[in-house]
Amino acid sequence: MIAVAASKTPATATGEPAKCPTCKGSGEVSRTVHVGRKRRAVGQQTGLCLTCLGSGEATD
């Protein structure tokens, strides 16, 4: 499916937007934080979901 023009609210048959599979609708994802040359994991940080850009809705 090719969507050139981005639509903020994708219409679905049910009228309910599908949840983003990456963040499961929360719009945020936790990612592991690495520091130093050895890329040591120091913890996790919550960041904006890049799949749905924080909207929590799946985009096609």
User: What is the contact surface with Zn ion in residues (CB under 5 A)?
Assistant: 20, 22-23, 49, 51-52
Q: Which residue do the tokens 């309910």 mark?
A: 16
Minimum CB separation of residue 31 from Zn ion in Å reads 13
Q: For 50, left (φ over 0), alpha (ψ -120 to 50), or beta?
A: alpha
**CA gap 60, 55 in Å, rounded:** 13
